[in-house]
Amino acid sequence: LIGEHTDYNGGLVLPTATPQRTRVELARRRDSTARLWSSEADPAAAPRAYAVGDEQPVGNWTDYVQGVTASLHASGYDLPVGFDLRVTTEIPLGSGLASSAALEVALLRGLRLLFDLPLDDLTIATIAHHAETDFVGAPVGVMDQVASSMGEEQTALYLDTRSMAIARVPIPEALEIVVIHSGIVHQHAGGEYTVRRRECERAAELLGVAQLRDLDEADLDRIAALPEPLARRARHVVTENARVVTAVMALRRGELARLGALINASHASLRGDFAVSTPEIDRLVELAQAEPGVYGARLTGGGFGGAILALVPVEQGHGVAMRVATRYAAETGKRPTVMMPRDAAR
């Protein structure tokens, strides 16, 4: 909902679960081989395979599976044999809606059941995060994995990514969430996402703190003295953390107009200070913000494509989603996908 690019800075986030699911089917093998199928990732390909205990990155979706078994081993959980795995997902790959985290968490849940592993849901999120950062090499924070492992629909997770403290915040029944995938795929492993993380780390170093989480809005004058673009990157993280705190209060009090204003401010900061939006995403957000009754809209996910969310009064989501998606498609020639509400999917 809000709290973007704050998690790898030790900050605050407020995710919620979408209705889409990733499912895994597993069967034990008698050898150490893992054989993998995914109709979404490999529509016409033969099964892929690797040896459990001899994981090697190969640059495709199987790295997330290999990362899970490698991270299990590194965490002290060794699998006695290999397995056959079939994956199906309703989440568009590269949509900014945590498709990789959903795969990692689903697989860990399945392996927990198949091999009777003593893993609680937070441990699953932590191992999944290590799989993505240490093995795949995507410099993401832990928000997606925690949301996939512990999130619930109609409830937001107020997560402190430094202490890993979690509070559940009910989403008011009067509020409906619209999510539209722009049709532009993004990637976290490398590229500008990595640049943003390095810029944040450099800004923290110059300001003499371990992470940007150690700063607050009282430090904005010091932040402004940084060279560009570091000043803008740090300003986004600090102000976004503050917006998360205020958004939690707004949710708890049912102050939906205030929440919407925070959502709009978040997008403006992501577009201007953090520079992770695109013209297509900006247009989707503008179309949503222009709809009567919409409280606010912003990109969601890491940026550089992906999806947007909009907050609307209950029972208005279908109409808003259809109108925004139709206008966006006509203007850009892109093919959007409505993810929420489900009855507006196209």
- Read off the tokens for 31: 């050898």
Q: Note the pLDDT tens digit of each residue in 164-196.
A: 999 999 999 999 999 999 999 865 545 888 999
- pLDDT for residue 213: 98
Residue 342 in this model has a pLDDT that exceeds 90: no
Give the tens place of pLDDT for each residue, 7-63. 999 999 999 999 999 999 999 999 999 999 998 877 777 899 999 999 999 999 999
282 catalytic residue (yes or no):
no
In sequence order, the 6+-apart residues with CB closer than 8 A to the CB of 257 are: 295
What per-residue confidence (pLDDT) applies to 64?
Answer: 96
Which one of the listed residues 144, 160, 216, 219 is annotated catalytic?
Answer: 144
How many whole angstroms separate alpha carbon 108 and alpha carbon 128?
A: 8
User: CA nearest 20: which of 86, 123, 101, 127?
Assistant: 101
Query: How far is the C-alpha of 314 from the C-alpha of 154, rounded, in Å?
Result: 12
- Name the pTM for this structure: 0.93
Cα dist. 38→46, 61, 81, 90, 194 in Å?
10, 9, 21, 12, 27
Strands (E), the chain: 12-13, 22-28, 33-38, 48-51, 83-89, 155-160, 165-170, 175-181, 296-300, 307-313, 337-340
